[in-house]
Amino acid sequence: MRTRGYVAALVALCCLLSTSAYAADTRTKIASATQQLHQLEARIASEQAGLAGLHASLRNAVIAVARSRQLYDEIQGQLLASQQQTKTVRAQYDAIRAQTNKLGVAAYIGGPGATFQSLDPLSIRDASDLLQYVSSIVDHNAALAEEAKQLGNELAARATQEATVMAHRAAALSQMTADQDALMLQLSEVQIRLVQLAQARVQVGTLLVSLRRQLRAEEIAAAEAALAHGVTFGKWATAFLGHIGAPVARNNLVVIVAWETAEWTSARWNPLATTYYMPGSTCYNRGCVRNYANLQQGLDATYKTLSRTGLGYEPILNDLAHNADPMDTAKAINASSWCGGCSDGQYVVDLIPSVEQHYDYYANASAG
């Protein structure tokens, strides 16, 4: 099972987090761990797709069992009906045989032959009656004998037919048993794979909690490092909102401070980590997030970045212009091209509740 490989990957990932070179900073380790986590989740998604195929096979097995059961029940019904009809024919046959035997005995004991002993041998009329009576008995017995023969033939045919039906029933029962065994094997495999997937998900969930704690620690460290620049997140947010003409109000302040916190950068005068070029700016990191010369240049660069079209920034500026609910503005940021897929798809959004509850703490952190 590939799921066993997932557990091994999780162990290796945990080892990576604990044994990486001390020279690597927390951000590099988190980036590496997040990449491996995405690979792990892709494998789980692939396993789920395979499980969906197994469910389709399972449905086919259920259908096969149902069909074999239906065939068996139909054959069993035919056999029971045939046996009932055979019973009826047997009763008719036995009744005719009994009637034939009874007539024979009666003719022998009390028929006209006994009267014939007292008749005048010369009486033609009496002789004629005797012959007619005997003839009627013979004819009746012949008809009964013919009917008995036909019923006997029908019984023999039915015996052959029932033997064939019983052979079909045995084959259907064998097929139904095989289908049921196959179904149970597939059910067992599904249960095993579901359990393994559940275990892998637990491991992933634990890892995510660990990563998020480290992310929070990194955010706090970045905020503390930014204190040297002398502009708090709250003051920068106030300056930026005033710069773009948006209301300097609680909703807007919360979302901008949360956005600054999400970036956790100590790039000078650039708490939202834009890469927009301005004269005299320098690269802060390999991605060329910019260090700006002063606060005004940082505000200009950030606004010019958000003013670019085709990147999904228009809803952000619109929400800020209307002092929208912080969560709505955060979702607009998340949906834009600013940092698509960051923080496991919860970029800025997952910080809103915490910043709303502890606004003063976040607002008093400092950005460059």
Q: Which of 64-68, 122-126, 198-202, 358-362 has the lowest mean pLDDT?
A: 122-126
Asked whether residue 238 falls in the same domain as residue 360, the answer is: yes
* 147 confidence band (pLDDT: 50, 70, 90): confident
Asked if 172 contacts 71 with a C-beta cutoff of 8 angstroms, the reply is yes
* 309 confidence band (pLDDT: 50, 70, 90): very high
Long-range contacts (CB closer than 8 Å, 24 or more residues apart) made by 69-75: 69/176, 71/172, 71/175, 71/176, 72/169, 72/172, 72/173, 72/176, 75/165, 75/168, 75/169, 75/172
Asked whether residue 249 falls in the same domain as residue 210, the answer is: no
Q: What is the pLDDT of residue 223?
A: 44
Asked whether residue 240 falls in the same domain as residue 306, the answer is: yes
d(CA 121, CA 177): 80
Asked if 62 contacts 183 with a C-beta cutoff of 8 angstroms, the reply is yes
Asked whether residue 59 falls in the same domain as residue 206, the answer is: yes
Looking at residues 285-294, what average pLDDT do you find?
93
Asked whether residue 255 falls in the same domain as residue 201, the answer is: no
Owning domain of residue 345? 230-367
Asked whether residue 83 falls in the same domain as residue 163, the answer is: yes
Number of domains in the chain: 2
Residue 64 has pLDDT above 80, yes or no: no
Asked whether residue 173 falls in the same domain as residue 259, the answer is: no
Decide: residue 198, CB within 10 A, 0-12 exposed, 13-18 middle, 19+ buried. Answer: exposed
More confident residue, 91 or 142: 91
Q: Which of 222, 251, 286 is the last residue of a domain?
A: 222
* 1 confidence band (pLDDT: 50, 70, 90): very low
Asked whether residue 218 falls in the same domain as residue 243, the answer is: no
Taking the model in full, what pTM does it have?
0.41
Looking at residues 102-107, what average pLDDT do you find?
64
Asked whether residue 204 falls in the same domain as residue 239, the answer is: no
Q: Which of 163, 192, 222 is the last residue of a domain?
A: 222
Q: Which of 191, 222, 253 is the last residue of a domain?
A: 222
Looking at residues 31-58, what average pLDDT do you find?
69
Asked whether residue 76 falls in the same domain as residue 160, the answer is: yes
Looking at residues 189-213, what average pLDDT do you find?
69
- Looking at every residue in the chain, the average pLDDT score rounds to 76
Q: What is the pLDDT of residue 2?
A: 41
Asked whether residue 269 falls in the same domain as residue 123, the answer is: no
Structure tokens at 197: 């997937």
Asked whether residue 253 falls in the same domain as residue 205, the answer is: no
